[in-house]
Structure 1
Amino acid sequence: MTIITKISAQKRPGRYNIFLDNQYAFSLSEKTIANFVLLKGKELTDNDIEKIQKFDTDAKASELATKFLSYEPRTVYEVLQYLKKHDVSDDSAALAVEELKNLGYLDDQQYIKLFIRNDLQVGTDGPTNLNRKLVQKGVDPDLIQNALEEVDEEEFIQVGFRLVKSLTNKAGRLSEREIQNKMKIKLINHGFSSSLSNNVVASFDLSLDSNEQMEALKKQGIKAYKKFRNFDEREKYFKIKKYLFTHGFSSDEIDAFLNGEVIDLDELSEY
């Protein structure tokens, strides 16, 4: 049997030093002291001390987890990893997580819905990227899949529209087909499926008028000429033709450029 002979506040708010039989024994939180009504002169058995320290350890884990959650929503996995970094035991971490779940502060299913909803409102990720990011946060893949299936395709089309809208500004510099291809590549890189990417692209009116298409052909043709100008005549025209074809221009458009119908070929040397 030991006796609490002194309780003193630490510099850290909410923590107190406990002295047993005139010697420092351990520190406790204000919550622990209040829970066990610890006062100077109180007698403690070894069993009492064990219970008090266990309670304090669990309370510390709960406090750490709550503080971590105060900055932004987290998943169960993220909270457990955070507590592990702070050397909290698995048992105490599990108790903290369970407590937060019961209080409604920790809910993976709700987290998934919020994560997806945020992307639909202001983000640029397609379903595949959302799934990957959520899996990295340690949530159940089945919960992710169920939540994604609840999203109407039109909502993801709006996300994709927002992602690639700026590419429409390239009209007159790139061919219609190349703008479409760049859109699809960007969409797929952001986690949109091929079919969903096609639907996003289809939501744009990308039909360039003849002047815009010819202007794009002129710009790309000049760029190709400058790139291959040092090749012999036959090789140069072959490479220009290949370059323009890979940039989305039709055979007729390419022939028109090489025949000098878009710009006088004699003027190309000025560029």
Structure 2
Amino acid sequence: MKITKISKTGSKYKLTLDSGEVIDTYDDVILNNNLLYSKRIDKKLLEKIHNDTNYYRTYNKILNLISTRLRSEYEVKEYLNKSDINDNDKQKIIENLKQIGLINDKAFAKAYTNDKINLSLDGPEKIAKNLKKQKIADEHIKEALNNIDEEIIKNHIDKIIEKKVKINQKDTITFLKQKILNYLITQGYQREMVIQRLENYPFIKKDLTEEMEKIYQKQLKKKDKNFKSKLKAKLYNKGFSIEEINNFIESKNI
């Protein structure tokens, strides 16, 4: 079997064989297999050309993937597992990318953390959880989180508190604080810091008599012998204080 023509098309090369077969391949495949000087190939070499081409095709896809943003070793392995190259070639790609610094979980942890801190309102614990999903080593996660400016975290918490206050005008302060606390914890913020920021936030006490009246009217439709105790429980669960509840019930002569 003989190569009748080698032509360059963009960043690739096109091999034309006398059998009519055309192979789109890469310069590394041409050089590694000495195809510029040796035009005759046997079945064994042809198979190697196909395997090498597949390897460099996958390798270049990984490079394109990494060019959009840094990738963890786990992400690259997951991508490679979907390819049809053998395990030895998969490991070879991983080791090569590590050697040239394109796979570096320590750098990935730092970059990921910086992005989340600057471009989202995710808390440190949520960031750590997501890094663990990427199989990042604990020491890299710890180092990345330790570099976060605490003032930025406090500012994030304050922004979320302010937003929640604006969209929850009908809640009592007690109920709203608990709601915000629960939400911020799910977003990865430490309970102690959230409580501290909530205590420092200038909540404005609102007249929620109208809201109590709505609850009262709703419960009134289901009035029974336990009406008073059920009303108290409902108001208490909504965050009203015992004093507020007793004053309201007294005003209704219940």
TM-score normalized by structure 2?
Answer: 0.83
CA shift at 1:186, angstroms? 0.4
Q: Secondary structure at the match of 1:91?
A: helix
**Superposed counterparts of 1:1-271, under 5 Å:** 2-7=1-6, 14=12, 16-19=14-17, 22-23=18-19, 27-31=23-27, 32-34=29-31, 36-39=33-36, 42-44=39-41, 52-169=49-166, 173-206=170-203, 208-209=204-205, 212=206, 215-216=207-208, 218-232=209-223, 234-260=225-251, 265=252
**One-letter code aligned to 1:226:** Q
**One-letter code aligned to 1:138:** K
Q: Secondary structure at the match of 2:14?
A: strand
Q: 2:70, 2:162 → 1: CA distance? A: 30
Q: Secondary structure at the match of 2:226?
A: helix
Q: 1:89, 1:158 → 2: CA distance? A: 49
> Which moved further from structure 2: 125-134 or 224-233?
224-233
Q: Secondary structure at the match of 1:192?
A: coil
Contact 1:57-1:92 within 8 A present in 2 as well:
no
Q: Secondary structure at the match of 2:155?
A: helix
Q: Percent identity?
A: 22
Alpha-carbon spacing, 1:48–1:88, altered in 2? closer, same or farther (3 Å):
closer
Superposed CA deviations along residues 94-118 of structure 1, whole A, max 9, x for unmatched, are 2223333333332211111111112
Q: Secondary structure at the match of 2:103?
A: coil
Superposed CA deviations along residues 198-257 of structure 1, whole A, max 9, x for unmatched, are 133234222x24xx1xx22x1331231232112336522222211121222211111111
CA shift at 1:181, angstroms? 0.6
TM-score normalized by structure 1?
Answer: 0.78
Q: 1:103, 1:51 → 2: CA distance? A: 25
**One-letter code aligned to 1:187:** L
Alpha-carbon spacing, 1:112–1:200, altered in 2? closer, same or farther (3 Å):
farther
CA shift at 1:48, angstroms? 5.3
Give the length in aligned residue pairs.
Answer: 252
**One-letter code aligned to 1:30:** Y
Contact 2:3-2:15 within 8 A present in 1 as well:
no
Q: 2:122, 2:152 → 1: CA distance? A: 12
CA shift at 1:65, angstroms? 0.4
Q: 1:172, 1:163 → 2: CA distance? A: 15
**One-letter code aligned to 2:156:** V
CA shift at 1:38, angstroms? 2.3
**One-letter code aligned to 1:5:** T
CA shift at 1:66, angstroms? 0.7
Contact 1:62-1:93 within 8 A present in 2 as well:
no
Contact 2:11-2:26 within 8 A present in 1 as well:
no
Alpha-carbon spacing, 1:171–1:14, altered in 2? closer, same or farther (3 Å):
closer
Contact 1:230-1:236 within 8 A present in 2 as well:
no
Mind listing any 5+ residue stretches in structure 1 that lack a counterpart? 267-271
**One-letter code aligned to 2:12:** G
